[in-house]
Amino acid sequence: MTLSVQLSMAKHAANLVAKARSRIGYLFYKLPLQDVNLDLLLRVFLCYIMPIFTYCSSIWAHKLAQNPTDAINAVFTCYIKRYLGLPRSCSATGVHYYCNTAPLYHAIRDISASSFTNICFPPSMEGHQLSFANVPPLPPYEPESDLSEDFPREQVFISSVGYHRCKFFRHLFNINHFRICSVSTFHVNSTPECTCLYCHGSLAGPSSKDHSCPEIE
């Protein structure tokens, strides 16, 4: 475990993230993960990646600031986005909603909280309690409450065939929006200011992903 002078866990979290990313790259290189179903993909993550974060998580998981927490969550979402054929910049909330998953940090906190029941104190320490045993749990994760109106609220079928899965999700997440949008600044979801560079039609709202421009057809 790596500690800073201020006893911060940020450096330790960064080391875990780097190790997990390296292992994910190796897994995608060695295993045909693009040709499996989502359930098996998640099982591979639980088997090979999750132990990196859950080891001694009771000690460090509750002390993280927002930046290292976001970096840990990005490990899991980028893992799924690679499987879905999506860029890293797309909505993580949408990914969790359609895949029925939750942020990695929530899972780590749940596992670390349950591990306290496995700690046995000698009789001489009866009545004592660990200082991090009463960390308040995180609120339940509800991706639908943060999901942009650009996304449909019904669940979708996730194909185990990489080509069809990638094509479907790139359309669902409107990945080609930036190619014809007049707004030059980076934005994940469409805005009221979004218009087509060619026909100047509106690109706002859920229908923007189906925009048909006669100028580029």
Domain ranges of the chain: 10-146, 162-210
Q: How far apart are CA 208 and CA 201, in angstroms?
A: 10
Record the tokens describing residue 78, joined without a space: 């980028």
Per-residue pLDDT of the chain (217 residues; tens, 9 = 90+): 665 556 577 888 999 999 999 999 999 999 999 999 999 999 999 999 999 999 888 778 887 889 999 999 999 999 999 999 999 989 999 999 999 999 999 999 888 776 655 556 667 666 666 655 666 778 889 999 888 888 888 989 999 999 999 999 998 998 887 778 888 887 777 788 888 888 878 887 776 777 777 655 5
Cα 176 from chain centroid?
21
First to last CA, the chain: 57
CA torsion angle for 198, 203, 208, 210 (degrees, to 10)? -20
Q: How many residues does the chain have?
A: 217
The residues, any chain, with a CB within 8 Å of residue 20's CB and separated by 6 or more, are 49, 52, 53, 75
